[in-house]
Structure 1
Amino acid sequence: MVACILILVAGSSHGGSDLDASIVFLIFITPLSFFLWYRPIYNGYMKEQSLYFYAYFVFCGFHLAYSLYMIIGIPSTGSAGLIQTIQMYTKGHIVAGVFGTIATVGWVVQGIGNALYYRQIWAHHKAQGHSVEKAKTELATRGAKAYFTRG
């Protein structure tokens, strides 16, 4: 968001929409990431149930794609990624370019870390014998409320 503020101050024609989108992302991504991929994998390891692992795989997969999207940095999308950063450097807006570089590197590190965890969790889930069929059975027997309860 800070990089998007600097992109706006630097005079980018897409700066306002970038800032708006980055604020919306900040507000929604934090709680959604907790409920859609952190909590499922925590419960997956705690309860060793397939349903949680597959919920994690679906939503973390979306998050990995989102990370790639943020790394690219298409103008008017709320990202200070590569495209936006290169534009700031070529226009001579060094401070905005530096913050864009920091944001892009942060997304790259976060994306690589998530991809490594994804791979590690996939290996664990396969080693424990979890399958889509088991997840379907768990969903059919316990229902969707099992995903949201502690027991």
Structure 2
Amino acid sequence: MLACIFVLVAGASDGGKDLGGSIGYLFIIPPLSFLLWYRPIYNGYMKEQALYYYMYFFFGGFHLLFSVYMIIGIPSTGSAGLIQTIQMFSQGHLVAGILGAFATAGWTLQGVGSAFYYRQIWYHHTAAGHTMDKAKAELANHGAKAYFTRG
């Protein structure tokens, strides 16, 4: 968000859209990350149920794609990624470019880390013998209620 503030101050034509998007991400990503990939993988490891692993793979996969999207940094999307950073440096806006470079590096580091853990979780899931058929059976037996209860 800080990089998007400087992109706006630097005079980017869509700087307001970028800042608005980044503020939106600030409020949307934390609760969604907890509900859609942190909690399912926690439940997957604690309960060793295939359904949670598949929930994580689905939503965690979307998060990996979102990370790539943020790294690219398409203007007007709320990202101060690579494209935005190159534009800021080429227009002589050093502070916005440097902050964009930090944002791009941060998203890259987060994306690589997420991909590493995604792969580790996939290996664990495969070694434990979880299958899509098991996940379907768990969903049929327990339904969504199991997601919200302990034990």
> TM-score scaled by structure 1?
0.99
Letter matched to residue 104 of structure 2:
T
Q: Distance in 2 between matches of 1:56 and 1:149?
A: 17
2:74 alignment partner in structure 1: 74
2:131 alignment partner in structure 1: 131
Q: Distance in 2 between matches of 1:61 and 1:14?
A: 29
2:105 alignment partner in structure 1: 105
Q: Distance in 2 between matches of 1:123 and 1:108?
A: 23
Q: Distance in 1 between matches of 2:150 and 2:33?
A: 18
Shift of 1:149: 1.6
Letter matched to residue 23 of structure 1:
I
Instruction: Indicate the percent of aligned positions where both proteins have the same amino acid.
Output: 70
Deviations 1:74-97 (A, max 9, x none): 000000000000000000000000
Q: Distance in 2 between matches of 1:93 and 1:13?
A: 14
Letter matched to residue 68 of structure 1:
V
Letter matched to residue 118 of structure 1:
Y
Shift of 1:144: 1.3
Shift of 1:103: 0.2
**Count of matched residue positions in the alignment of Structure 1 and Structure 2:** 151
Q: Distance in 2 between matches of 1:147 and 1:136?
A: 14
RMSD of aligned Cα (Å): 0.5
Q: Where do residues 1-151 of structure 1 align in structure 2 (5 Å cutoff)?
A: 1-151=1-151
Shift of 1:146: 1.1
Runs of 4 or more consecutive aligned structure 1 residues displaced over 6 Å after TM superposition: none
- Secondary structure at 1:80 match in 2: coil
Shift of 1:24: 0.4
Q: Distance in 1 between matches of 2:134 and 2:3?
A: 44
Letter matched to residue 148 of structure 2:
F
Unaligned residue ranges in structure 1 (runs of 5+):
none
- Secondary structure at 2:114 match in 1: helix
Shift of 1:145: 1.4
> TM-score scaled by structure 2?
0.99
